[in-house]
């Protein structure tokens, strides 16, 4: 086999900090594609611990595409972290019990932003926080220490707190072609055959059209 086994937990025995996410998560509401990895020298198998406030009764999901690279310190804040904002008090009295359960809000009263969607070939740097219901497009890059509060378009580099657009990775023509090409859905054999083009630091439309 050329390339790693997509069903392995540790794809490269020489890098014990790196795991394929889909092979280390157990929560069915965390869905990760092939070859997407989490790199953490302290506890790589603890990726699921970085998906915070993911509760079954809300049924929101974290969906990660293929070939994503996620660095240590990631925090996905899910919808369960939300408090009511339209009441006089934002404080969740009901969680204290002792009769205060009468203040339990209905699900309809809580802000719900939907699923968190991470596209394919997304690179997320160290210590990034992603807020609930965010969509990050294919090919995007999130700079280290960023807090992502808004959707990120495909092939956009963002950074900061809150994260702001820095620049697009490629021109509109190349981005449109890559989104149509969807190389991350190729068979492993086709990907490995085209590594030279996929790793080209000066891509052109003509070069991309040579993939076969």
CATH label of the domain that carries residue 161? 2.160.10.10
Domain that holds residue 164: 18-83+112-169
Quick one: 190 and 116 in the same domain? no
Residue 108 pLDDT level (bands cut at 50, 70, 90): confident
93 in a structural domain? no
- Do 58 and 75 lie in one domain? The reply is yes
pLDDT over 80 at 77, yes or no: yes
Task: Give the model confidence (pLDDT) of 130-152 as tens digits.
Answer: 999 999 999 999 999 999 999 99
Taking the CA atoms of the chain, what radius of gyration do you get in angstroms? Answer: 20
Would you place residue 123 in the very low, low, confident or very high pLDDT band (cuts 50, 70, 90)?
very high
pLDDT at 36 over 70: yes
Residue 119: predicted pLDDT: 98
Separation of alpha carbons 190 and 181, rounded Å: 13
Give the count of domains, the chain.
2
**How many Å apart are CA 64 and CA 5, to the nearest integer?**
18
Residues annotated as part of the active site: 83
Q: pLDDT band for position 1 (50/70/90)?
A: low
Question: Is 130 in the same domain as 199?
Answer: no
In sequence order, what are the beta bridge partners of 51?
76
Same domain, 68 and 129: yes
Whether residues 64 and 162 fall in one domain: yes
Question: What was the pLDDT predicted at 100?
Answer: 79
Tell whether 63 is covered by a domain. yes
Higher pLDDT, 196 or 105: 196
List CB contacts of 45: < 8 A, sequence separation 6 or more.
9, 19, 24
Mean of all residue pLDDT scores within the chain = 94
Position with higher pLDDT, 103 vs 58: 58
Average pLDDT of the segment spanning 78-96: 82
pLDDT of residue 207: 95
pLDDT of 165 reads 98
104 pLDDT exceeds 80? no
- Is 119 found in the same domain as 72? yes
Q: How many residues are given for the chain?
A: 212
- Residue by residue, DSSP assigns 147-198 as EE-S-B-TTEEEETTTTEEEEESS-HHHHHHHHHH-GGGS-HHHHHHTHHHH
Whether residue 206 sits in one domain with residue 133: no
């Amino acid at each position: 086999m050329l390339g790693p086994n997509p069903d392995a937990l540790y794809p490269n025995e020489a890098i014990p900090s790196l795991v394929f996410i889909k092979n280390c998560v157990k929560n069915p509401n965390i869905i990760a594609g092939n070859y997407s990895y989490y790199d953490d020298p302290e506890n790589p198998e603890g990726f699921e611990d970085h998906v915070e406030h993911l509760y079954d009764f809300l049924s929101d999901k974290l969906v990660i595409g293929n070939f994503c690279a996620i660095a240590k310190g990631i925090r996905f804040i899910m919808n369960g972290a939300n408090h009511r904002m339209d009441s006089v008090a934002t404080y969740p009295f009901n969680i204290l019990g002792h009769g205060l359960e009468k203040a339990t809000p209905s699900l309809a009263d809580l802000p719900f932003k939907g699923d968190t969607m991470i596209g394919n070939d997304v690179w997320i740097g160290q210590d990034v926080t992603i807020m609930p219901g965010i969509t990050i497009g294919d090919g995007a890059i999130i700079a280290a220490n960023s807090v992502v509060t808004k959707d990120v378009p495909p092939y956009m580099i963002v950074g900061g707190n809150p994260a702001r657009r820095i620049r697009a990775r490629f021109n509109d023509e190349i981005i449109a072609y890559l989104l149509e090409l969807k190389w991350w859905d190729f068979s492993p054999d086709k990907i490995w055959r085209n590594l030279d083009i996929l790793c080209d630091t000066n891509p052109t439309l003509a070069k991309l059209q040579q993939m076969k």
